[in-house]
A and B are shown apart, each in its own frame.
Chain A
Amino acid sequence: MIENLALGFAVAASVENLLYCLGGVLLGTLIGVLPGITPLVAIGMLFPLTFTLPPIPSLIMLAGIYYGAQYGGSTTAILVNLPGETASAVTCIDGYQMARQGRAGPALAVAALASFFAGCVGTLLIAFAGPPLGEWALKFGPWEYCALMLMGLVASAVIVHGDALKGLAMVALGLLLGIVGTDVNSGMVRFAFGVPDLFDGIGFTVIAVGLFAVAEIVSNLASPASREVLAGGVSRLMPSRTDLDDSAWATARGTAVGAAFGVLPGTGPALASFAAYMLEKKLAADPERFGAGAIEGVAAPEAANNAAAQTGFIPTLTLGIPGSAVMVLMTGAMIMHGLSPGPQVIAEKPELFWGIVASMWIGNLMLVVLNLPLIGLWVSLLRVPYRWLFPAIVMFCAVGVYSVSNNPVDVYLCATLGALGYVLARCECEPAPLLLGYVLGPLLEEHLRRAFLLARGDPTPFFTRPISLAFMLGTALVLAVMIWPALRRKAG
């Protein structure tokens, strides 16, 4: 336990890795704070920068970018009332009200401190829960993997806001996109239409940048947005004693809620921050303060958000099943470096697993130490108008995708998928389930094949093996939760 963490810190605290972590955190915040850029877009854009690095520094830098981008997103949410992603949408409600009352400083500081606390707890949880879970997962047969993936896919489709039916269709589309290219089992090339560039499948960067960056830019340009940046800037940063007292318990509760939601595949930070906010409102003696600048309304969702982001690494690193869209990006990065995320990672590459765990904590610490003094810089970035920003983002996307293998076909595909993703987004189809499907597609096919081969075509082991049955029941429960309100509406 302790020696594992010590190994991790020894890896993460090397000067080189510290610098990559720092660079990732700074770049992530820099990009994430820009209005109209969600953490996912930020990661997608900066993703190609990490390719040339060896696996460990690359993943450490990516984790840094992630935390930085998420923190940058909260800054934008509080100061501009513009939620970068669903996870910070809840922070907007009270954070922006605090900013309007001239308390932007304390709001930002509490958000950072709550995130840091949640990050510490989350890191410890990974360290404790990771290895036993990984060992447990080593006993998984193909049935358990199939059932778990099914549960994750269905959950991701149901949890995105909007329509579960569309979410499920996006999952199926993602699974189809995932199997483009050479079939590992038979060597047969599928859905390549004679284009040699497709024989290896559609690149992960191509899909991620197309769906999350290109589609997002077009959405921003097509929807008339009005932004109001606070004119005054941020004066007093430190929260008062009462602020800290008020937010302490909210932070603790938010952390607990977030950690629980984080480990469930498919749910992720968005649901966690929402649940934490609702809990605080329920528990408060005077719920009407919420929505009018209650500091608990900032502390709890920010803590939940970060705790869920942290514990989201547990299913990703131990089971190889990413819990949220960002974890999908991390999984993609690992696959790209020739690592297959899963239970064997902890056993075979302890320095990688523990190094990432330790660097996540260091990244969180850097955020608190660096970002509070740098807040003035971030605020001035918020004033950059979008008409200057978006062509630059298009440039980063195009150059990034091209640089992966110096192949123009990748750029064409990325533009096409971006257009498709935009049209689907306008039809209220969220892209996150598609990405999850894309990553899990080949894995699901592989395990499904093995499951049926071993059982000679008999599907009953899915329901007779206890762990598999539990995942199947979980899937049924998620589906029931989705169908129930619709049925009730029809009856009423």
Chain B
Amino acid sequence: VQFRGIKDLLAGLIFLAIGAAAIHFAREYPFGTAVRMGSGYFPTVLGWILGGFGAVLAARGVWSWVRSRPRKQEATLDFIAKAKPAPALAERMAVGLGWRPLACVTASMLAFGALMPRAGLVPALVVLFFLAALGGREFRWRGVAVLTAVMTAFAVAVFVYLLKLPFPLVPGMYLR
């Protein structure tokens, strides 16, 4: 069974949630009138528009899913023929979404941000490269180590020497 409409549903729910949050938080800002719009006017209207689009999308997703579901008998026959239970929704989503690259790339950037002011450019880049490389299809220690060394040297040369960005290399150590 293909989960047709799952993309519409997910996108719709995201938009609906963000729209609702916008309306909720904009309640703290004065709404004003159409003649004198307060700071809450534009965000509230946008929140309703975004939430509205989200609701329509989500409804469309559910609708196309319901419609595409095979009738009971066919489903049973299909099930016997394949003799393999369909994986759970969460599992399919995980495969379809590519959690690993998403988690690794996001984590590598978050770690870089956290390490940069405290530990300096070199440690931050080493962590960034290893975490990011974990998100790739294959991970070879030696290859990643060489890449890290070369690119870190490149970064120090270009960003710190050439462009003179004020980054510490390791804690407390600046060039110049």
Could you list which residues of chain A lie within 8 angstroms of chain B, going by C-beta atoms?
Answer: 49, 52, 165-166, 168-169, 172-173, 175-176, 179, 183, 185-186, 188, 190-191, 193, 214, 217-219, 221-223, 386-388, 390-392, 394-395, 397-399, 402-403, 406, 408-412, 414-416, 418-420, 422-424, 426-429, 445, 448-449, 452-453, 456-457
Secondary structure dominating the interface of B:
helix
| Cβ contact within 8 Å between A179 and B155 | no
Q: Which of chain A's residues have a CB closer than 8 A to the CB of B33?
A: 457
Task: Using CB atoms, name the residue of chain B closest to A51.
Answer: B163
Known contacts A169-B15, A390-B132; decide if A52 and B163 are in contact (CB<8 Å).
Answer: yes
| B11 within 8 Å of A (CB atoms) | yes
Task: Using CB atoms, name the residue of chain B closest to A222.
Answer: B98
Instruction: Give the CA-CA distance A402 to B129 in the complex, in Å.
Output: 16
Q: Which of chain B's residues have a CB closer than 8 A to the CB of A418?
A: 105-106, 109
| B149 within 8 Å of A (CB atoms) | no
Further 7 A-B residue pairs, CB within 8 A, beyond A398-B109, A457-B34: A172-B15, A176-B46, A188-B30, A395-B128, A427-B10, A445-B42, A452-B37
Task: Using CB atoms, name the residue of chain A closest to B152.
Answer: A395
Secondary structure dominating the interface of A:
helix
| Cβ contact within 8 Å between A411 and B110 | yes
Chain B CB within 10 Å — which of A391, A394, A416 has the most?
A391
Task: Using CB atoms, name the residue of chain A closest to B61.
Answer: A427
Chain A CB within 10 Å — which of B43, B49, B113, B129 has the most?
B113
Partner of B47, one of A176, A186, A422, A428: A176
Q: Which of chain B's residues have a CB closer than 8 A to the CB of A416?
A: 106
Instruction: Give the CA-CA distance A179 to B143 in the complex, in Å.
Output: 44
Known contacts A398-B113, A427-B7; decide if A190 and B26 are in contact (CB<8 Å).
Answer: yes
Instruction: Give the CA-CA distance A397 to B7 in the complex, in Å.
Output: 28
Could you list which residues of chain B lie within 8 angstroms of chain A, going by C-beta atoms?
Answer: 7-8, 10-11, 14-15, 18-19, 22, 25-26, 29-30, 33-39, 42-43, 46-47, 49-50, 53-54, 56-57, 60, 96-98, 101-102, 105-106, 108-110, 112-114, 116-117, 125, 128-129, 132-133, 135-138, 143-144, 147-148, 151, 155, 159, 163, 165-166
Q: From residue B36, how far is it (CB to closest CB) to chain A in Å?
A: 7
Q: Which of chain A's residues have a CB closer than 8 A to the CB of B47?
A: 176
Partner of B109, one of A214, A422, A424: A214
What would be 13 A-B contacts, judged by CB atoms less than 8 Å apart? A165-B53, A173-B18, A176-B46, A218-B101, A222-B97, A395-B129, A403-B165, A408-B114, A411-B109, A423-B14, A423-B102, A426-B7, A427-B14
Instruction: Give the CA-CA distance A420 to B112 in the complex, in Å.
Output: 19
| Cβ contact within 8 Å between A190 and B35 | no
Task: Using CB atoms, name the residue of chain B closest to A456.
Answer: B35
Known contacts A412-B110, A418-B105, A448-B37; decide if A391 and B132 are in contact (CB<8 Å).
Answer: yes
Instruction: Give the CA-CA distance A52 to B8 in the complex, in Å.
Output: 43
Q: Which of chain B's residues have a CB closer than 8 A to the CB of A453?
A: 35-36
| Cβ contact within 8 Å between B109 and A397 | yes
Q: From residue A326, how far is it (CB to closest CB) to chain B in Å?
A: 24
